[in-house]
RNA sequence: UGGGAAGUCGUCCAAUGGCAGGACACACGGCUCUGGACCGUGGAAUCGGGGUUCGAGUCCCUGCUUCCCAGCCA
């Protein structure tokens, strides 16, 4: 489990407790084997990340193995595109699966043999009912089902029919193989569930080798048994499939007996995580694709600028339990900020520029200041920033009439220009529409580097860019995709979309941003964390995606004052 | 009027039958050349009703609420 055998930050949970108990009792000789079993019919999302972190984490902690196994038993929905995307995302998250990638389809022949065993033992039969007829006989939640008229075919007839199903003698839907369990079971999953269906579809791996495909319950349980999975971790909705899981393993006479354990799937406030709904967002063009930075997909989070370590930390903090829960998206944002604060280089960039003229600084002079790249990491070094008479500052950092707690620019007020000088506002100009066009100031020649010689306190520090040296950058400001905590709860998912989930601005940044490469994650001081978009950036002309804002104390004060 | 599962601060996760704790969020304060980060303080919870016990979030009974299940999807 080499590089991914990282120290997990996860707290002990009930699953780890069960596994520790199993090992203590010498079950499976203390060996632990898990698997992450995605269906390749969509992109992985943050909910899958929870499962990945759990499965790989538990295996690593116990010196065990974790397989990546695709549950590819339904050729109608599965595609190679998704197979590749899934592998890439798992690797990007920082995990290495044991050995080669696995596919349920690797086991089709073995699974077929297990099915024949079932038939020979009188535990499965070929049913010739239509899907509708079968549904009618299944009964309801509260009333028992009725046995199919084909339920008592002889072993010989069943075997013959099943082999002919495989041989392609029948049309799609003509027959299915069913488990022979109990049509009166209160657990609907045990009312003779379908094990195999005929589907004349090209499979992304086995091509046209098969025209019958196994169903999930059968294929998953026995794939686990074949692969020696000791602990098969899945989500709560499979809880009442567990009797069927155990039945398949037992009645097929599999030599290895895995154990299924269910935990609560992840839900996150202000986002949706169902494949169906994510697919809708993609197909209806609400977002630009599976990797749109507003998507909760791994690909989306990556393009948004979230580091894999942050996603792992988030999953560890979320914990593992059996109760349905919705994690506050603020916890995800916190995990991202925490990681980025430690690791990202700082830059100065102005997103809504207005000109600041330093009246007592000569027109032709260029001064260079040295700025720290990351105050949290001395090893990150420093960089040079040019300073000239005409600068850009943030329009929002000037107020004509400022309140007492305003630590920024306003006539007569003094602020620090980050890493440079202390300046005092001497005036401003507006156009005919009353829009601010320019701010003027004078610097204190004794304050070079930004500290006041007389020790006077200057509370505010502004970011700035030399107008002459500024690099224009396209910046996309992302916000949550939905404006309600539980999107779609009142029916219409689209009605809950946040109209401001993305705005694009033209900013001005310090020269060093020209060196940014695709995927580089930075902080624009006082604004937030940004990533150099790997798709739309060109050399020397970075396009930046805002990952998450910095916490903003002033915004909170303002909000409070409005109330 | 079936079966399965779950109910602990606003949110998420803990607590051999023995002082209900941590994180996020929130509020207040400190510190700061990012109103960032960091540090400190605070408010904040055992679904209800019975019972067992010296002692119950934990055990028993009962009620309530929420989630999942009637694919030839996974």
Question: What tens-digit pLDDT sequence spans chain A (563 residues)?
Answer: 333 334 567 889 999 999 999 999 999 999 999 999 999 999 999 999 999 999 999 999 999 999 999 999 999 998 999 999 999 999 999 999 999 999 999 999 999 999 999 999 999 999 999 999 999 999 999 999 999 999 999 999 999 999 999 999 999 999 999 999 999 999 999 999 999 999 999 999 999 999 999 999 999 999 999 999 999 999 999 999 999 999 999 999 999 999 999 999 999 999 999 999 999 999 999 999 999 999 999 999 999 999 999 999 999 999 999 999 999 999 999 999 999 999 999 999 999 999 999 999 999 999 999 999 999 999 999 999 999 999 999 999 999 999 988 999 999 999 999 999 999 999 999 999 999 999 999 999 999 999 888 888 999 999 999 999 999 999 999 999 999 999 998 889 999 999 999 999 999 999 999 999 999 999 999 999 999 999 999 998 999 999 999 999 998 888 777 65
Q: Which residue has the least CA–C1' distance to nucleotide B2?
A: A142
Cα–Cα dist A196/A127, whole Å? 10
The reply to whether A275-345+473-562 shares the fold of A25-263 is no
The highest-level CATH class for domain A349-463 is mainly beta
- The pTM of this model reads 0.96
Give me the CA A243–C1' B56 separation in Å, rounded: 33
- Give the nucleotide with minimal C1' distance to the Cα of A127: B72
- Give the nucleotide with minimal C1' distance to the Cα of A133: B72
Give me the CA A331–C1' B15 separation in Å, rounded: 23
Q: Return the CATH number of the domain spanning residue range A275-345+473-562.
A: 2.40.240.10
Give me the CA A227–C1' B64 separation in Å, rounded: 44
- What is the domain partition of chain A in residue ranges? 25-263, 275-345+473-562, 349-463
Q: Which of A31, A151, A265, A483 is catalytic?
A: A265
Q: Which of A275, A302, A312, A389 is catalytic?
A: A275
A480 a catalytic residue? no
Residue A440 CA: distances (Å) to CA of A118, A222, A465: 86, 75, 15
Q: Check residue A138 and report its DSSP letter.
A: T
ipTM above 0.90? yes
Give me the CA A383–C1' B27 separation in Å, rounded: 39
Angle at A374 between CA A370 and CA A375, to 5 degrees: 90
Q: Which residue has the least CA–C1' distance to nucleotide B7?
A: A323
Give me the CA A205–C1' B69 separation in Å, rounded: 32
A526 a catalytic residue? no
Q: Which of A6, A31, A39, A88 is catalytic?
A: A39
A39 a catalytic residue? yes
Residue A495 CA: distances (Å) to CA of A251, A285, A297, A483: 49, 15, 21, 9
The CATH homologous superfamily to which domain A25-263 belongs is HUPs (3.40.50.620)
Question: Which positions on strand B lie below 7 Å from a protein C-beta?
Answer: 1-8, 10-14, 22-28, 32-38, 66-74
Of A184, A237, A185, A175, the C-alpha closest to A212 is: A175
């Amino acid at each position: 489990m080499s590089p991914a055998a990282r120290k997990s930050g996860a707290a002990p949970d009930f699953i780890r407790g069960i596994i520790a108990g199993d090992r203590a009792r010498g079950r499976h000789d203390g060996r632990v084997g898990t698997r992450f079993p995605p269906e390749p019919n969509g992109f992985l999302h943050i909910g899958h990340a929870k499962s990945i972190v759990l499965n790989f984490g538990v295996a690593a902690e116990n010196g065990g193995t974790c397989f990546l196994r695709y549950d590819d038993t339904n050729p109608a929905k599965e595609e190679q595109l998704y197979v590749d995307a899934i592998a890439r995302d798992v690797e990007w998250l920082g995990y290495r699966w044991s050995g080669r990638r696995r596919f349920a389809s690797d086991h089709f022949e073995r699974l077929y043999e297990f099915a024949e065993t079932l038939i020979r033992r009188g535990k499965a039969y070929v049913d010739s009912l239509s899907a509708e007829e079968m549904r009618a006989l299944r009964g309801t939640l509260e009333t028992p089902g009725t046995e199919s008229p084909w339920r008592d075919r002889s072993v010989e007839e069943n075997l013959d029919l099943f082999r002919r199903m495989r041989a392609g003698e029948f049309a799609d839907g003509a027959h299915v193989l069913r488990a022979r369990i109990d049509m009166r079971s209160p657990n609907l999953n045990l009312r003779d569930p379908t094990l195999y269906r005929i589907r004349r579809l090209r499979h992304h791996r086995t091509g046209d080798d098969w025209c019958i495909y196994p169903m999930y319950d059968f294929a998953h349980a026995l794939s686990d048994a074949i692969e020696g999975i000791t602990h098969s971790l899945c989500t709560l909705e499979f809880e009442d499939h567990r009797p069927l899981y155990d039945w398949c393993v037992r009645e097929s006479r599999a030599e290895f007996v895995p154990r299924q354990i269910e935990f609560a799937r992840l839900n996150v406030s202000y986002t949706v995580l169902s494949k169906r709904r994510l697919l809708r967002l993609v197909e209806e063009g609400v977002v630009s694709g599976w990797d749109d930075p507003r998507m909760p997909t791994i690909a989306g989070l990556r393009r948004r600028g979230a580091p894999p370590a942050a996603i792992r930390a988030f999953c560890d903090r979320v914990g593992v339990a059996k109760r349905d829960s919705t994690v506050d998206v603020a916890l995800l944002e916190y995990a991202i900020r925490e990681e980025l604060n430690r690791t990202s280089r700082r830059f100065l960039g102005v997103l809504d520029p207005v000109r600041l003229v330093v009246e007592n600084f000569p027109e032709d002079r260029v001064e260079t200041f040295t700025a720290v790249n990351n105050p949290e990491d001395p090893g990150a070094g420093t960089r040079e920033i040019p300073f000239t008479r005409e600068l850009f500052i943030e329009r929002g950092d000037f107020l004509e009439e400022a309140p007492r707690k305003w630590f920024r620019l306003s006539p007569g007020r003094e602020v620090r220009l980050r890493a440079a000088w202390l300046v005092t506002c001497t005036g401003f100009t507006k156009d005919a529409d009353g829009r601010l066009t320019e701010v003027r100031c004078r610097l204190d020649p004794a304050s070079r580097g930004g500290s006041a010689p007389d020790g006077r306190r200057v509370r505010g520090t502004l970011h700035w860019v030399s107008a002459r040296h500024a690099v224009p950058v396209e910046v996309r400001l992302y916000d949550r995709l939905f404006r309600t905590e539980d999107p779609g709860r009142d029916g219409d998912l689209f009605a809950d979309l946040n109209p401001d989930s993305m705005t694009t601005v033209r900013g001005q940044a310090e020269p060093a941003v020209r060196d940014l490469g695709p995927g580089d994650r930075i902080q624009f001081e006082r604004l937030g964390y940004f990533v150099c978009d790997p798709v739309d950036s060109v050399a020397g002309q970075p396009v930046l995606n805002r990952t998450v804002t910095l916490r903003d104390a002033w915004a909170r004060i303002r909000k409070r004052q409005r109330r």
